[in-house]
Structure 1
Amino acid sequence: MNTDILKKEIDNIISSDNKTAQKLQAICDYLESEISYYDWVGFYFKNGDKNELKLAQYTGEETEHVIIPFGKGICGQVAVSNENFVVQDVTAQDNYISCGWKVKSEIVIPIFVNGENIGQIDIDSHTANTFSSKDEEILEYICKKLSQTL
């Protein structure tokens, strides 16, 4: 994974004149097409004043998990912990919401605006033990860049 090339393209997407929803969709599509083991890429955001996340833009198989309560599943846990969550083997997690039998690993990185966790980027992979520090690096970069425009 060449993070420099990925960061440059992410910068181009974020600095474009497109609306936020279009930028988020472009990021999902780009990551899914460029990183072979990113099989589902999506954004969840806090749903108003409710203690739940709502699915925004994504690419990959459809999911029934449009609303996720805080604390439930990997995404819901990140909404509470405010920390990155890398799961190399989803079967080892007690508090995991299955999005499909093909998903073997997941990484979720929070997005902060003015110190508040407003959402997250969520990646599912059909490959177990696939995520590395480079994945965290590029996803943290994306979340930091997005936080400046959201």
Structure 2
Amino acid sequence: MFTQIYYTGNSTEKYSQLAKQMDALLTGEKNRYANLSNASALLNQFFDRINWVGFYLMDEDELVLGPFQGLPACIRIPLGKGVCGIAAVNGKTIIVPDVNAFPGHIACDSASQSEIVVPLRKNGEVLGVLDIDSPELDRFSEADLAGLELVVEVLNKHL
């Protein structure tokens, strides 16, 4: 059962609360798509000043759109292309303060101005990425990077 949590405290405390809520929400469900759907809804509720949050999942040599919250999005992203494709290949989180200054950025929503992408892993293998876009420049911080990596670590247990 989902219970609304009101996130309080500093960034570290808020992300810790979010990670605990993510774990509670997903515990007991084995279906990857159900868990990713609820994860995208929870993240959409957690963040302000964003316009898209969702997942791209590995499918052979490309990323394919998974569960998300926001406007319709690009369906397929080649590995090594755009922020998501580069994060998937490198296996590292990427913060882009200004997507228009990012070489090779793939514009799915012209309103997006900044972005953070966090790889999803299972047994050391990249399964896909969490992608969050904002209509504001420089929306995501190092605190968001650390916090989202914690949340994705919890999410990975349920994939």
Task: Give CA deviations for 1:39-92 in whole Å, capped at 9, x if unaligned.
Answer: 211111110xx21011110001111x1111011110011121111111010111
The CA deviation at 1:30 is 1.4
Amino acid paired to 1:126? P
- Residue from 57, 78, 84 that aligns with 1:75: 84
Query: What is the alpha-carbon root mean square deviation over aligned residues?
Result: 1.5
How big is the shift at 1:28?
Answer: 0.8
Unaligned runs of 5+ in 2: 1-10
**1:33 corresponds to:** 45
SS at match of 2:72: coil
Which one scores higher on RCO, CA 8 angstroms, separation ≥ 6?
2
Q: State the match for 1:6 in structure 2.
A: 18
Q: Within the alignment, does 1:116 sit opposite 2:125 as a pair?
A: yes
Ranges in structure 1 where 5+ consecutive residues have no aligned partner: none
* SS of residue matched to 1:91: helix
CA contact (8 A) 2:40 2:69 kept: yes
In 2, distance between residues paired with 1:124 and 1:73? 13
Q: Distance in 2 between matches of 1:16 and 1:133?
A: 32
1:61 aligns with 2:58: no
Is the aligned partner of 1:46 residue 2:58?
yes
Aligned partner (choices 135, 138, 149) of residue 140 of structure 1:
149
Seen in structure 2, the aligned counterparts of structure 1 residues 81 and 18 have a Cα distance that, compared at 3 Å, is closer
- CA deviations on 1:1-48 (whole Å, 9 max, x unpaired) are 42232122111122143632122111111111221123211111110x
